[in-house]
Amino acid sequence: MTKEKLALEIIERLKGEYPDAGCTLDYDQAWKLLVGVRLAAQCTDARVNVVVEDLYAEYPDVDALAEADVEDIERIVRPCGLGKSKARDISACMKILRDEYNGKIPKDFDSLLKLPGVGRKSANLIMGDVFGEPAIVTDTHCIRLVNRMGLVDGVKDPKKVEMALWKIIPPKEGSDFCHRLVYHGRDVCTARTKPFCDKCCVADICGKNGVE
């Protein structure tokens, strides 16, 4: 089976398993996703979702967060880890959104990458979830699973994984596919325990099991 055919089959099976999979970060405005994804670095989405409740209660919009002292932001987001750098990036981002984009998120991928603390993973997440554009989010679940499944061959660098997946994943499927990988990676194809291959919907075609 070619990688293209394998990818299409995996996409369809994951659709059946996780039909309603979406972003696991809570947000009701685009700028909040930008904040959430920065806080999620080396932190669980579940913890981020709890922490941002206090952050948004105190700073409910872009202007308020842009005007906040970095130390006050850090105090609230510290439970997410890397508090100093995350608070600094969030503060700088909000100032740019306020001063250059009228409080909105830029719709251009390259413009997103210029925001403090925003890398390709974050920019792709925003492009896919906020703007409905083709996107491939190479988080730790994605990288682990696509290597195990045989969609890429021993590639761990996030950008290289992204570029490899662009070649075999239909653009319209990329964003949802990556969300489903997160669900599958948490529930079945886990990192900290042995994968639960016995209940995996793609076990019979997975590269981990020696399927060609």
Range 125-131, long-range pairs (CB < 8 A, 24+ positions)? 125/23, 125/33, 125/37, 126/30, 126/33, 126/34, 126/37, 128/174, 128/175, 128/178, 129/22, 129/23, 129/33, 129/175, 130/30, 130/33, 130/105, 131/107
Distances (CA, A) of 49 to 26, 45, 54, 162, 209: 6, 6, 10, 26, 36
CA 163, CA 178: separation in Å to the nearest integer?
14
Quick check: 179 and 21 in contact, CB under 8 A? yes
Catalytic residue set: 121, 139
